[in-house]
Structure 1
Amino acid sequence: MYAIGIDGGGTKSKLMIKGREDQAVFSCTTGATNPTAVSLEIITERLSQLFNQTPSSFKEQAVSLCFGMSGFSALSQEDIQTIQVHIKTKLNPEAFVTVTNDAVTALYSGTKGNSGIAVIAGTGSVVYGKDESGNEARAAGWGYMFDHSGSGFGIGKAALKAVMNEADSGMALSPFSEMILQSLSADNPRDIVTCLNHSQDPRHDVASLAPAVFSLYEQGNQAAEQLISQAAEDIYDSIQKVRGRLFTEQKAVTLVCTGSLFQKQQALFDALTRLTDTKGYRLSIPKAEPVEGAVYAAWEAVGERL
């Protein structure tokens, strides 16, 4: 018997298979399956690519599969059913199939199905929690038009706004503004709008400014320090909202920090650690991949825990 997890991302997607002994026996990858980045037709095509790479013996013995998707909220119920039917057709009709938000599998990558709160901070951001009774709550993650505080996009947007404020004040460009403009390949603040209007992926371009902000932070730049501190405070505010709906203030809560910002930028994790210190949180950056969280969720769906 095997369980299968799929982590569906905006750049790549990964499938992993584990038996009850919690050892991966097979894995493979394909392209993006985030519905905000690709069509439903491409999602099903790429799922087929994953299953075509998977040995038949594993597919035949699979009892459960969990597909954790970034961009899950963009799917209609009909879309979800289409994906589930497609998976059963390519896997086996007896397997239990779950399609869910990648925040769920992110949490499970750090708790193996136990209660806690997960923070995903990458291009976007979201906070998700689950208590011992299975009650769920989430905060943030409303999309780049309305939210994404504490994300790569949020930090990049705040950096651009700081540059624009300097320009509007008639001030000479600071080292902070010069580096942000250089990272965007803009000669002056007025070029920001032109660069983004002509970009094929402006959200990505704005989010890609975050590493420059972190680099300035490491150099002791005050403006960058303020942006990173604000990002951590925004994340902490969302965490507290989720905690208030699921846990008492007296209960110690596992806080799983995932996503590219936590994986690559120690400064954000450190800033969040300072905010949560003495507040009853146990912070961790999981060693397990998000796809392993999907495997744990697949086992849990059929009443098993690894």
Structure 2
Amino acid sequence: MDYLYLAIDGGGTKTDAVLFNSTGTIISRTIGSGTNPNGMSFNEVTLHFKKLFANLLLNNSIKEIKGCFAGLSGSDHPKLIKKLADCLREACPLPIHHLIVGNDGMNALWSGTNGASGLVMIAGTGSIVYGIKHNGASFRIGGWGYLFGDEGSGYSIGREAIRHVLMTFDHREQTTSLTIALSNYFDVSVISDIVPIVYKCSKDIIAGLVPIISREAEQGDHLAKQILSDASKELIALLQSGLDRFETMPHVVLVGGIWKCRLIRETICTAVSVPLIFPSCPPVYGSIAKCVNEWEKKDEKLLFSLKRQLLKND
């Protein structure tokens, strides 16, 4: 019998959903608005899911969904997990027979391990380590947000660059090429004019400085090199704290935009003496892997077929 499954990866800025069947065909995929309840009401979360399902299920004569795994950010507490599950059931126009809601870190991990246990470090706008042991026990380290944590993250790197170029404006540090680079990025003629801009802009705008800092570091700017070196040390410490939780060496997965920075990536790979996995698939593949492992008896051929389609269309 041909069963239908729903895989969801939900974050603060976007939600990725894939509908597929048990014969190995991806029927549809939709990317919609974020669904993190920490940034909106549960009514808004439900509304975003409704819009997502309206596009995902368009022109499909589907009557029911056998199973759904939704890895959602902001689901770190049993009460939140229940509320998010209620949002999903209310929003979906079709009955979902089996629904599991978990942390979006699970998707990130499983996108590199095909659903197996291990450790993932997510380094994008923010940073966090999430682990699942062989016995199923899970833990998280970091991810406390830009005010109290997110060490080594894109926001942290961008903030440090801004802080240092403002110090050069005060003649407390030597001016480097970063001053001109940041002036161009924020479109200001005097570097001090970025202050009212950065206090109003979103975190991803500040994190967007990472490619610029990386470029200047590659071209020899000593300040850019130091900022990336300091971020690497923070990420190494974060990763090591996760590895210390395991009795035996786990699979280690690295996910997020920070790993596009060659200097950071090479520093981490040199410092950590374990094989590192950089997933080729987006995190929603981790949710697909969970569905297959949970309800299709870990069918490797099925999983391979779905992964190939996802890579082809991503």
TM class by shorter-chain length? 0.7 to 0.9
SS at match of 2:251: strand
Q: Deviations over 1:128-147 (max 9, x none)?
A: 11121112122111011111
Q: Please name the residue that 1:80 is paired with.
A: 81
AA partner of residue 246 (structure 2): L
AA partner of residue 131 (structure 2): G
Q: Distance in 2 between matches of 1:85 and 1:11?
A: 21
Q: Deviations over 1:244-272 (max 9, x none)?
A: 11233xx3x3221111222x433332221
Q: Please name the residue that 2:228 is paired with.
A: 228
SS at match of 1:240: helix
Q: Please name the residue that 1:285 is paired with.
A: 278
Q: Please name the residue that 1:203 is paired with.
A: 203
Q: Please name the residue that 2:130 is paired with.
A: 128
- For the Cα contact (< 8 Å) 2:109–2:118, is it kept in 1? yes
1:271 pairs with 2:273: no
- For the Cα contact (< 8 Å) 1:127–1:139, is it kept in 2? yes
- For the Cα contact (< 8 Å) 1:130–1:246, is it kept in 2? no
1:256 pairs with 2:253: yes
Structure-2-length-normalised TM-score:
0.84
Q: Moved runs in structure 1, 4+ residues, more than 6 A?
A: none
Q: Please name the residue that 1:70 is paired with.
A: 73
AA partner of residue 162 (structure 2): L
Distance change in 2, residues 1:102/1:59 (3 Å): farther
Shift of 1:2: 2.8
- For the Cα contact (< 8 Å) 2:176–2:221, is it kept in 1? no
Comparing 103-112 with 210-219, greater Cα deviation is found at: 210-219
Structure-1-length-normalised TM-score:
0.86
Shift of 1:104: 0.9
AA partner of residue 117 (structure 1): L
Shift of 1:5: 0.9
Pick one of 147, 157, 164 that aligns with 2:149.
147
Q: Please name the residue that 1:296 is paired with.
A: 289
- For the Cα contact (< 8 Å) 2:176–2:223, is it kept in 1? no
Query: Any residues of structure 2 matched to 1:2-21 within 5 Å, and which?
Result: 2-20=4-22
Q: Deviations over 1:280-303 (max 9, x none)?
A: x21121112211111222344447
Higher relative contact order (CA 8 A, sep 6+): 1
- Root-mean-square deviation (Å): 2.4
Q: Distance in 2 between matches of 1:171 and 1:108?
A: 44
SS at match of 1:287: coil
Q: Distance in 2 between matches of 1:270 and 1:59?
A: 49
Can you give the 5+ residue segments of structure 2 that lack an aligned partner in the other structure? 300-314
Q: Distance in 1 between matches of 2:257 and 2:23?
A: 29
- For the Cα contact (< 8 Å) 1:5–1:295, is it kept in 2? yes
Comparing 151-160 with 39-48, greater Cα deviation is found at: 39-48
Pick one of 179, 182, 195 that aligns with 2:181.
179
Percent identical residues: 28
Q: Deviations over 1:90-134 (max 9, x none)?
A: 254452222222111100001011122111111111111112111
SS at match of 1:134: coil
SS at match of 1:95: strand
- For the Cα contact (< 8 Å) 1:184–1:205, is it kept in 2? no
Shift of 1:44: 1.0
Comparing 292-301 with 115-124, greater Cα deviation is found at: 292-301
- For the Cα contact (< 8 Å) 1:126–1:140, is it kept in 2? yes
- For the Cα contact (< 8 Å) 2:68–2:96, is it kept in 1? no
- For the Cα contact (< 8 Å) 1:116–1:255, is it kept in 2? yes
AA partner of residue 89 (structure 2): K
1:104 pairs with 2:106: yes
Shift of 1:202: 3.6
Distance change in 2, residues 1:209/1:169 (3 Å): same
Q: Distance in 2 between matches of 1:72 and 1:189?
A: 40
Comparing 289-298 with 177-186, greater Cα deviation is found at: 177-186
1:305 pairs with 2:301: no
AA partner of residue 81 (structure 1): K
